[in-house]
Chain A
């Protein structure tokens, strides 16, 4: 058996907010091509962990390594350019712009890099980027809304559009913070199908979810976070059977 290739390594990370120990001694390894779910009760520190990975927050100690490159200390745009994209818990989108433009912008970032002064070229002549964006919107089932202002979309649609904004960059690592929250059952299932399809293309994913149906349909590995600590991790079956997890999180729900 070949050695599994760890793409993301969160090494001994601590994060304190004043007296609050939001992340305590986190050690997490995500293997290439896998879908790694992070579950845990509200306020466990799940979003904070993603914030540390993408450079939104500096860790109090420890570091994050992505494919041999230390991310800690780098700026968010540099981390994205290394191939990491994120869907936020509260959608971060361009509310005043059309859905199509929302998806074209990340495609331009991928193609042109962090800065390019191309101001005498017409956006309308970017047919390649446009078609790519339209394909992506079709994949998430939003092509019909491409001319709408993104800010006027429903919560679930904003989320699907944000997913398209991330996927169009073909990131090596996709971080998803509750990607199906606010979606109907039907849209949730479409999103699961979509995420499975991406998985078959070999994209590595870290997914935070409260919806156990989503978690158990997608995850290869699960880490359980409670009060800033990883209290269990392993395959879905191992985690499901773990009494500590039952107590801290799954409780009576399952």
Chain B
């Protein structure tokens, strides 16, 4: 394995530092508590993996929540059947979701464009419905899959480890509550980011970009693109499975709602909001959406009424009525609006915004005499 290029190394170091210090720099935003931080990590991993398929290869999957859900179920089954330790659960979840992605990817990738998207959506909805119906012995249906005192845990019992009280996942005997849970997930996000960075900068990553830009040319250049797209699909499915497994670690009640199409749509939004095809963009998109979801879904009418209290009577209740549609359960409406605005004005997502601003700053000192940094259109 060759050394990493300098710029990549800097980016990786900066990313690692930013992630590990999140409990500090997110404190002023009121977001520095473990539960939310863990979700930042988990959905960051989900988005980084999704970007390998969508951002690099150009295949828009609308069904990736299925792999997330499968990862969750697999992890919980590992807790039940093997051990409460998280390491076997992670490995098991990644393998199972990878195999699941191999099958769904193999079939869906027979088509491209919108037909591919529809196929992935159909498979994910099928999985979701099956989790509630024929697969209830595996998923425990609407109740969700839970850990119980009487689970066999063959590995643990072989090692004569006993559990007192409600069983919870552990890492080498240590509980993963609070900040240790955050650092556990953060470790995985950092590894996930590192691998994505290597893939992006590899010849394999270049082929994925080639497929996104001009698949026809790839064929006439001598590439069999099918195994490339399938590999990208399986890798991103494994990322999703890992993220799902981590969610099962922090919240070991796996339910089928994790596989619903809204969850698949959310990771698409995260990736596009942050900037599809960039490395950090999808992570930032995931963080922003989870942060604002946390704020907006907690707002209720009481809070709104106090907020608009300064307005005259009548006006304030009208404002409360309108605003209440966008908060709480209506958070998806806000998300949809933000998404529309981003796609229209910043199709490259937040990373494009950052690039544009950086561009302005880079130019300004070099050409102080020129008032207008934009090139003048020809008459």
A residues with CB within 8 A of B: 54, 56, 75-77, 80-81, 85-86, 92-97, 101, 104-106, 108-110, 112-126, 165, 169
Contacts and interface: CB of A to CB of B under 8 A. Distances in A.
B2 interface: yes
Contacts of A114: 222-224
B223 A118 contact: no
A117 B219 CA distance: 17
Given A77-B219, A77-B224, A125-B2, A119 B198 contact: yes
B206 A123 contact: yes
A229 to B, nearest CB: 27
Contact of A86 (B1, B198, B220, B231): B220
Contacts of B2: 121-122, 124-125
A80 B220 CA distance: 6
Contact of A165 (B203, B221, B223): B221
B355 interface: no
Contacts of B205: 119, 123
Given A118-B202, A124-B201, A93 B222 contact: no
Contacts of B221: 77, 80, 85, 105-106, 109, 165, 169
A233 B53 CA distance: 50
Given A76-B220, A105-B221, A109-B221, A123 B202 contact: yes
Interface residues of B, number: 32
Contacts of B204: 116-119
Contacts of A75: 219, 224
Contacts of A169: 221-222
B78 to A, nearest CB: 27
B207 interface: yes
B130 interface: no
Contacts of A124: 2, 5, 201
A93 B214 contact: yes
Given A77-B219, A97-B210, A123-B201, 9 more contacts: A75-B224, A76-B219, A80-B219, A85-B220, A97-B213, A101-B209, A106-B221, A116-B204, A125-B2
Given A120-B1, A122-B4, A109 B202 contact: no
Interface in B174-209: 198-199, 201-207, 209
A77 B222 CA distance: 4
A92 B214 CA distance: 8
Contacts of A81: 222
Given A120-B1, A120-B198, A122-B2, A95 B213 contact: yes
Nearest to A150: B213
Contact of A105 (B1, B4, B199, B207): B207
A112 B217 CA distance: 17
Contacts of B225: 77
B110 to A, nearest CB: 15
A97 B212 CA distance: 10
B216 A92 contact: yes
Interface of B: 1-5, 198-199, 201-207, 209-210, 212-214, 216-225, 227-228, 231
A101 B209 CA distance: 10
A62 B4 CA distance: 52
A121 B203 contact: yes
A67 B310 CA distance: 86
Given A116-B204, A117-B231, A122-B5, A95 B222 contact: no
Contacts of B201: 122-124
Contacts of A54: 220
A165 B210 CA distance: 13
A206 to B, nearest CB: 15
B271 to A, nearest CB: 17
A106 B213 contact: no
Contact of B209 (A77, A80, A96, A121): A96
Given A120-B198, A122-B2, A96 B213 contact: yes
A121 B225 CA distance: 19
A105 B210 contact: yes
Nearest to B211: A94
Contacts of B203: 108, 112, 116, 118-119, 121, 123, 126
A66 to B, nearest CB: 14
A96 B212 CA distance: 9
B213 A110 contact: no
23 contacts: A54-B220, A77-B222, A80-B219, A80-B222, A86-B220, A92-B216, A92-B220, A93-B214, A93-B217, A94-B209, A94-B210, A94-B213, A105-B210, A109-B223, A110-B222, A116-B204, A117-B204, A117-B231, A119-B205, A120-B202, A122-B2, A122-B202, A123-B203
Contacts of B219: 75-77, 80
B229 to A, nearest CB: 11
Contacts of B223: 77, 109, 114-115
Contacts of B227: 115, 117
A194 to B, nearest CB: 20
Contacts of A76: 219-220
A76 B219 CA distance: 6
A86 B216 CA distance: 12
B223 to A, nearest CB: 6
Nearest to A119: B204
Nearest to A175: B220
